[in-house]
């Protein structure tokens, strides 16, 4: 099985990049299942139902979220009805939505699990024990399991990779929007990357207009962040999994810029 995972999609610039590039990514890598992190898709804050439907219509099969899950309040009205979206499983047990989904595409089944870290983020249930419990549940259905660990610090993400080595097929980090260079297959067969990166403007700060971010750093005053409209970059990974065991056999980073993409056309 081949799995394409696309990093945090930020605002309209990120959405347009995905719309443009996804057909070429499908042609090049021939993935069976495509997953994307969509928690910043709506102006950098959360996701809306029309945006989620666009992603599905473009060929994305499942969407993971993160700490901005609830920023668009109308998500409470529809997330329970959309089985292809997962929010962090270690949110409160009374939170709507689900933390795990089984994505089934032409008989290929992939469990996607969303977990949020606790370091420098709001206190929530233990991400390690939550992930482990859901993986045991997923194994009753499929050996192919992807964990999106939406966390702030590299140490917590790396620790999760080691903790889930041999249990999950893929463990990837999201949230920090900067693709790391430590893609590897861990000793027990888990494909790992500390942070997949993002899809959005590369001319701002993590997809946001740099002027507002600089103003906050320089003045320590509240500032409204706005999605930057500059040229985009797109980050993701492609992973190959053994059909029988679910162990990863390959992981490869994807890095594209708008300039390099235009040269390819």
Q: Give the separation between CA 65 and CA 101, rounded to whole angstroms.
A: 12
Q: Give the separation between CA 50 and CA 69, rounded to whole angstroms.
A: 15
Q: Give the separation between CA 97 and CA 64, rounded to whole angstroms.
A: 11
C-beta separation of 195 from 189 below 8 A: no
C-beta separation of 235 from 258 below 8 A: no
| 177 part of the active site | no
Place of tokens 């996804």: 22
Q: Give the separation between CA 140 and CA 247, rounded to whole angstroms.
A: 16
C-beta separation of 242 from 222 below 8 A: no
* Catalytic member of 68, 144, 150, 177: 68
Residues in the chain: 265
**Residues noted as catalytic:** 68
């Amino acid at each position: 099985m081949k799995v394409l995972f696309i990093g945090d999609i930020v605002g309209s610039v990120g959405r347009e990049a995905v719309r443009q590039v996804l057909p070429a990514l499908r042609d090049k890598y021939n993935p069976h299942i495509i997953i994307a992190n969509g928690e910043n898709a709506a102006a950098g804050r959360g996701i809306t139902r029309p945006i989620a439907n666009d992603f599905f219509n473009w060929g994305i099969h499942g969407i993971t979220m993160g700490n901005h899950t609830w920023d668009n309040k109308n998500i409470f009205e529809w997330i329970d009805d959309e089985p292809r979206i997962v929010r962090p499983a270690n949110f409160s047990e009374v939170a709507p939505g689900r933390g795990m989904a089984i994505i089934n595409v032409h008989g290929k089944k992939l469990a996607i699990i969303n977990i949020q870290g606790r370091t420098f983020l709001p206190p929530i249930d233990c991400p390690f024990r939550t992930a482990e419990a859901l993986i045991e549940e997923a194994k009753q259905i499929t050996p192919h399991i992807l964990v999106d660990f939406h966390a702030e610090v590299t140490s917590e993400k790396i620790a999760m990779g080691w903790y889930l080595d041999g249990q999950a097929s893929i463990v990837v980090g999201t949230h920090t929007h900067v693709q790391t260079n430590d893609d590897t297959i861990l000793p027990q067969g888990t494909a790992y990357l500390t942070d997949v990166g993002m899809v959005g403007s590369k001319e701002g700060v993590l997809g946001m207009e740099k002027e507002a971010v600089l103003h906050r750093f320089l003045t320590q005053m509240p500032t409204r962040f706005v999605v930057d409209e500059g040229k985009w970059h797109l980050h993701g990974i492609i992973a190959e999994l053994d059909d029988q065991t679910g162990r990863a056999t390959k992981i490869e980073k994807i890095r594209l810029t708008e300039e390099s993409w235009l040269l390819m056309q």
